[in-house]
């Protein structure tokens, strides 16, 4: 039930902000201190599997099933969702990706209030898994 409510909230935020004109940024750069954040679940398969479940519930709508930024809702956004397979994402540290999930960048909602810190790190694990495919 909690996940369903979070999904509804995220979907509503996407719809509300998809029609607003967003300034296109060439780069969304996390602050330097985020590079020092350590992923406590790095290399843990069970955490990656949990990250996949969270991704499928919360992220696939915009980022697509393979993380290419081509999900159904993402296609209608002026500011396109990240393609996790792109080098500019793959070259970021786990901490930078965690920071971006936490803070959000409209139309992407901040996930700090929607997902626990552990869940956000598990998402990072799964994003890294997507990059391997």
Per residue in 74-90, pLDDT (tens digit) is 999 999 999 999 999 99
Gap between the Cα atoms of 52 and 65, Å rounded: 10
The upper half-sphere exposure of residue 117, i.e. CA atoms within 13 Å in the direction of its Cβ, equals 5
SS3 of the chain: helix, strand, coil, percent, to 5: 55, 0, 45
Residue 28 binned pLDDT confidence (cut-offs 50, 70, 90): confident
Residue 53 has pLDDT above 50, yes or no: yes
The arithmetic mean of pLDDT across residues 51-68, rounded, is 97
The arithmetic mean of pLDDT across residues 19-34, rounded, is 64
**Residues contacting residue 61 through CB under 8 Å, at least 6 positions apart:** 10, 11, 14, 71, 72, 73, 74
Residue 17 binned pLDDT confidence (cut-offs 50, 70, 90): very low
């Amino acid at each position: 039930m909690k996940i369903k409510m979070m999904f509804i909230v995220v979907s509503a935020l996407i719809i509300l902000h998809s029609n607003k004109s967003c300034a296109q940024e060439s780069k969304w750069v996390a602050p330097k201190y985020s590079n020092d954040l350590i992923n406590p679940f790095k290399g843990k398969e069970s955490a990656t599997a949990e990250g996949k479940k969270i991704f499928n519930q919360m992220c696939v709508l915009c980022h697509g099933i393979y993380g290419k930024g081509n999900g159904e809702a993402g296609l209608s956004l002026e500011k396109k969702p990240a393609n996790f397979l792109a080098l500019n994402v793959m070259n970021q540290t786990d901490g930078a990706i965690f920071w971006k999930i936490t803070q959000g960048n409209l139309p992407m909602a901040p996930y700090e209030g929607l997902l626990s810190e552990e869940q956000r790190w598990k998402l990072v694990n799964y994003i890294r898994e997507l990059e391997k495919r």
